[in-house]
Structure 1
Amino acid sequence: MKKANLLFAIEALIAVVLMSMNPTPTGYKVGDVIQDFKLKNVDGKDVSLADHKDVKGYIIAFTCNTCPVAQAYESRIIALNEQFAPKGYPVVAIQSNDSQRSPGDSYESMQQRSKSRKYAFPYLHDDSQTVASAFGASNTPHMFVVKKEGNQYRVAYIGAIDNNQDDGSSASKKYVEEAVNELLAGKPVTTPSARAIGCGIKWKNA
């Protein structure tokens, strides 16, 4: 009996360890309605999704200053805003890295980056990391396309921008672009998710 109890305890411990190594994914899924948020923009003003009544949706980009992958995709995020903001799907960029762990992602550095790269979209500071946590964002970049339905926003796409990190012009699948074009045409999104590739978000130490 003692051996059986010991074996059960060992198996339970192994299960707990495995669960901690592979935590249950959290955050929004495709089809979920998201909660609006309010974050400080690089111009010092608070921004929420409800601020713009005439949009059809948003392209939400969790990104940062320092990640090489985010830097490689920066011009493509700028191009997405140029292409789709006039059609009702502007970009909202969010920076959620802990600046203590990544000093190059401080609010002041965000302001400098936005100015030097001439961002024509909000670059919001998720200092508490609550928005990244709510979305389930894990990488930079990590993209979410949300469609406006009345006063709500429903997730239509989650994941990567495209399937070629090195050269966007050579990408055979441009996931975000295709998703927004399908939404604008009143069609369902053919590819609603694709694995986001990039640096992990630098979470605050517990």
Structure 2
Amino acid sequence: MKTAFASIVLASLGLSALSATAAADPPDLKTLSIGAPAPDFDLPGVDGKNHALGEYSDAKVLVVYFTCNHCPTAQAYEERVAKLHDDYKSKGVAVVAISPNDPKAVRLDELGFTDLTDSFEDMKIRARDRKYPYPYLFDGDTQATAKAYGVLATPHVYVFDAERKLRYVGRFDDAEVKTPKSHDVLNAVDALLAGKDVPVATTRVFGCSTKWADKQADARKSLEKWNAEPVTLETIDLEGVAKIAKNETDKLTVVNLWATWCGPCVIELPELVTMNRMYRSRKFRLVTISLDDPSKKDDALKVLKEKHVAANNYVLSTSDRDAFADALDKQWPGPVPYNLIIAPGGEVVYRHVGEIDPLEVKRAIVAKLGRTY
């Protein structure tokens, strides 16, 4: 039985997270060894039921797949894991997905490839939207199961035989978005079903580091840092507005029209701030344009500071709304709040009059930016 080189390679937001993970993992964390029995679990699922290890006692092979909502690597494998379930269910193979992350330990800037957090409620949305055919369980409250299995990253796969002894641990395969050359999990499952030794029992994992609860402090500090960022407000004329509309940059641009006298406008600003913090490390920018009278510029700036809107903030220099609409978006009917998303080159890919549905806007953003590297 061959064992691949045992070093672990992790990635978070496209960067190697090996050193960061080594510092963040619990000091006694150890990945389950080949031959070890499957640790028991009893966890809530997105279907409203609790699921325990004993439920799968009839399965010839059990695949325990640690994953999460936010990680681009995990998202890249969603279809392949679903296909594994569909292709092997009739052969006696069971698949169980578990999210190991504490959602409060995930920084906003770690959510740049997703529209959802790692909360249990958001897991329900992801499972519903993607039609997960397998159980999706939440371990984020205690992370006891993740610790028992020694989960280093999402995704991290464990394959157990009929006696629930570990026969494979590591990655799903060797390619996130490209054609795999080494189908590691499939090879392990096929070998076990055939009564043979698994050809390669251990492989490197590659993905986003497990978000342990002790990282909550780091997440809180990041909010404090971002809340201290300077907030400015500049005056913009019609020429400047037209330039925004053309969007000759390489950045997806969210444009928010608002005013201090508009209650829904002010209410939705924190949601836009959250999105800006999520996506601004990618090719993304947030632009706000206040329709307050320029003489009220200080009032608008005060609101922006209170809401920590550290973005490209402008107040319109003209009161000619028709000329403004012609310069920005001729389809704007006039009310605020009004939000649109402009792709590089000037194509408007999203418009909305009235208070936004944050999830809807995030989905529109991620649809253009992409969910994987």
TM-score interval for Structure 1 and Structure 2 normalised by the shorter chain: 0.7 to 0.9
Amino acid paired to 2:119: S
SS in 2 for 1:177: helix
Asked whether the 8 Å contact 2:56–2:62 carries over to 1, the reply is no
Segments of 4+ moved more than 4 angstroms: 20-25
Higher relative contact order, chain-length normalized (CA < 8 Å, sep 6+)? 1
Unaligned runs of 5+ in 2: 1-21, 107-115, 216-373
Asked whether the 8 Å contact 2:38–2:166 carries over to 1, the reply is yes
Q: Measured at CA, do residues 73 and 54 of structure 1 come closer, stay the same or move farther in structure 2, by a change above 3 Å?
A: same
Aligned match of 1:158 in 154, 157, 169?
169
Aligned match of 1:118 in 128, 131, 134?
131
Q: Does 1:184 align with 2:197?
A: no
**How is 1:12-27 mapped onto 2 (pairs within 5 angstroms)?**
26-27=30-31
Unaligned runs of 5+ in 1: 1-19
Question: Which whole-Å CA distance do the structure 1 matches of 2:205 and 2:95 have between them?
Answer: 17
**How is 1:20-169 mapped onto 2 (pairs within 5 angstroms)?**
26-102=30-106, 104-127=117-140, 128-149=142-163, 153-167=164-178
Alpha carbon RMSD of aligned pairs, Å? Answer: 1.8
Post-superposition shift, 1:165?
1.5
Task: Single out whichever of 59-68 and 43-52 deviates more from structure 2.
Answer: 43-52
Post-superposition shift, 1:45?
0.7
SS in 1 for 2:214: coil
Identity %: 39
Asked whether the 8 Å contact 2:160–2:167 carries over to 1, the reply is yes
SS in 2 for 1:69: helix
Question: Which whole-Å CA distance do the structure 1 matches of 2:136 and 2:28 have between them?
Answer: 29
Question: Which whole-Å CA distance do the structure 1 matches of 2:83 and 2:103 have between them?
Answer: 27
Question: Which whole-Å CA distance do the structure 1 matches of 2:192 and 2:48 have between them?
Answer: 32
1:11 aligned partner: none
Structure-1-length-normalised TM-score: 0.83
Structure whose CA Rg is larger? 2
Amino acid paired to 2:157: M
Question: Which whole-Å CA distance do the structure 2 matches of 1:140 and 1:123 have between them?
Answer: 14
Asked whether the 8 Å contact 2:62–2:95 carries over to 1, the reply is yes
How many aligned residue pairs are there?
182
Q: Measured at CA, do residues 51 and 24 of structure 1 come closer, stay the same or move farther in structure 2, by a change above 3 Å?
A: closer
Question: Which whole-Å CA distance do the structure 2 matches of 1:35 and 1:26 have between them?
Answer: 13
Asked whether the 8 Å contact 2:45–2:135 carries over to 1, the reply is yes
